[in-house]
Each structure stands twice: as structure tokens, then as C-alpha cells.
Amino acid sequence: MLNPNVPAWFEIPANRLDRAQKFYETILGVQLKRENMGGGEMAVFPYGGRPHASGALIQHEQLEPSVLGSTIYLNVDDLRPVLSRVHEQGGDTIVPRTELPDGIGYFAQFIDSEGNRVGLFSPV
């Protein structure tokens, strides 16, 4: 049976992990933890322990950043200041802050420092 909290882990590819880590730490105002696993180097996003979902930036020879494929959405308190910092760090907005129906919240998408398409979700 599938757990109702479907996401368990995500990985965002990076060609230059130091650059990607600085980008995400700056736009999100968090510290990522460096780890090595399975032949790749990772910078892990903070999380509240199991069963909370989390993920990492990962530099590995078999992974390539892309705007194609699945889109990861990061939960933030307010996506407006995050989008502002995306631009300050050299990223670009591809879907501006957009209201979801029924008061669910807002979403946006951006291109990160590595060329990945990443989404944001916030209640305001």
C-alpha cells in the first residue's frame, strides 16, 4: 500500500555541487549537509527525520541537470522572496507566482544554477 505522503526522497542533479549548494542555501535560507553515497556527492536538504520527505542536490556521472522530466516542488512559507533571490543568484523564473484554485495556495517554477526546472509552493 502506498503511504499517503508519497514523496519520500528527491534528487536534484548538479554539475557543480558547490555552486548548486550555494544557490539553494541562499534562496531558501537553509544549510545543506554534505554526504557521500553510492559514488556521488550530495548536499542534503534539512528535514525533520522519518517519516518526513526530503532530498538532496547530487553530483554523479550518471545524472544530468535538465528542464525535462519530473518537477520537484519545494514547500516554502512565501515564494515571493524566494523567487527574488533566485534572480539574484542567476536563476530565472519560468512560471510566475500563480494562484491555485479553492484557496489552496500559490506555485511558481524556476531554472536553478544548474539548469534544472524546480517548483515552489506556498500558502501565500
Single-letter amino acid code for the residue at 91: G
What is the average pLDDT value for the chain, to the nearest integer? 90
Question: Under CATH, what is the fold of the domain 9-122?
Answer: 2,3-Dihydroxybiphenyl 1,2-Dioxygenase; domain 1 (3.10.180)
pLDDT tens for residues 42-61?
999 988 766 677 899 999 98
Domain ranges of the chain: 9-122
Single-letter amino acid code for the residue at 70: S
DSSP of 94-116: EEEEEEPGGG--EEEEEE-TTS-
Question: Is 89 within 8 Å of 27 (Cβ atoms)?
Answer: yes
Work out the average pLDDT over 66-73. 92
| pTM of structure | 0.87
pLDDT tens for residues 110-119?
999 999 999 9
